[in-house]
């Protein structure tokens, strides 16, 4: 028995134009820096969703980590429930059928956490298993998907994966650090959920999942807890590192399943930023149109960390583009790359 993706759902807080966020918040945050303005323009992000209103974004940098976690506890459960219910509806699955719930988030913590809020709000059956995946970063959706698929294959019960990030709660104190300018130009908030059912259901089958970690570059992408929220470190060498690693990862995944790059019908690539997508294109030798959906998601939503690859996959499915073997890719601290091979057959 294998698992299939039977439904995907998303929930997004209010959207704001990138230009408005610059004018109302970050122009002043970065002291009208021309470098910051160029970085915001080059981000290729047109709009982003934030659970924190622009009027509050101007003050978040001064909030303590405790204040940010309290706001996460208020804002995250409604979004998580909305995304989970949408995915369950799309999969025509009753919450009580769900045998496993996996919640992935790196932007907020508390106990009892989101898994308990979902178990109560959906509601799940009392015997449903729960697993929380924390502080894993942008690639968390794919190891969560792999774990859920293994559970479905072993137990024959549906599983629900929920990824939610409220990155707007982690605006950092003003600085002249270009890494912080890039981070604040890219990231947005979102929740996305996916339901997996046994192979008898329609949908993309989870064929195989592969990982590749380059520990020699573990300092290239960091997510540190400070007294003023979580601070991201994003080295400029990350795209080059990904370009060198993505080819071996994907080619090994495909070859061990009797395929090569020419067999892939669609690519669901986490849009970490325009340079990340360029690196994937170059590392795999893909034509520009292969990652068009990822670029559209980046433009419309920004980089939402762990939910983003699910937003890309959902867009591909709605467009009818995932008609054959599909590869999902996401990247995170470690330096870690994950790839999932999906197939409607």
DSSP-derived letter for residue 43 is T
DSSP β-bridge partners for residue 3: 198
Which one from 106, 138, 163, 304 is the annotated catalytic residue? 138
DSSP state of 113: -
How far is 18 from 303, CA to CA, in rounded Å? 13
Across the strands, what pairs with 105?
134
Residue 7, H or E segment: strand 3-11
Tell me how far CA of residue 16 lies from CA of 189, 192, 203, 288, in angstroms.
11, 19, 33, 27
Burial profile 67-76: b = 16 or more Cβ within 10 angstroms, e = fewer:
ebbebbeebb
DSSP state of 324: S
Catalytic status, residue 304: no
Active site residues per annotation: 138
């Amino acid at each position: 028995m294998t698992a299939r993706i039977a439904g995907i759902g998303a929930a997004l807080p209010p959207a704001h134009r990138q230009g408005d966020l610059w004018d109302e918040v970050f122009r002043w945050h970065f002291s009208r820096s021309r470098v910051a303005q160029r970085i915001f323009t080059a981000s290729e992000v047109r709009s982003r969703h934030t659970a924190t209103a622009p009027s509050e974004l101007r003050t978040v940098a001064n909030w303590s980590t405790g204040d940010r976690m309290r706001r996460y506890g208020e804002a995250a459960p409604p979004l998580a429930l909305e995304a989970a219910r949408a995915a369950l509806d799309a999969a025509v699955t009753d919450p009580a059928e769900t045998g496993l719930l996996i919640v992935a988030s790196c932007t907020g913590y508390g106990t009892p956490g989101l898994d308990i809020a979902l178990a109560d709000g959906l509601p799940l059956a009392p015997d449903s298993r729960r697993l929380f995946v924390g502080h894993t970063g942008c690639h968390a959706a794919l190891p969560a998907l792999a774990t859920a698929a293994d559970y479905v294959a072993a137990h024959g019960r549906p599983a629900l994966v929920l990824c939610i990030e409220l990155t707007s709660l982690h605006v950092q104190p003003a600085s002249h650090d270009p890494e912080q300018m890039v981070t604040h130009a890219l990231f947005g908030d979102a929740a996305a959920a996916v339901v997996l059912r046994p192979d008898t259901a329609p949908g993309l089958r989870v064929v195989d999942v592969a990982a590749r970690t380059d520990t020699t570059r573990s300092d290239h992408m960091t997510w540190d807890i400070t007294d003023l929220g979580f601070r991201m470190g994003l080295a400029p060498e990350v795209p080059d590192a990904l370009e060198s690693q993505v080819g071996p990862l994907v080619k090994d995944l495909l070859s061990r399943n009797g395929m090569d790059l020419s067999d892939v019908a669609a690519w669901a690539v986490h849009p970490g930023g325009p340079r990340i997508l360029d690196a994937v294109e170059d590392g795999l030798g893909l034509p520009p149109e292969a990652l068009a959906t990822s670029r559209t998601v980046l433009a419309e939503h920004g980089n939402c960390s762990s939910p983003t690859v699910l937003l890309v996959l959902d867009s591909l499915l709605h467009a009818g583009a995932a008609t054959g073997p599909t590869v999902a890719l996401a990247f995170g601290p470690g330096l870690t790359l994950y790839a999932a091979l999906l197939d409607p057959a």
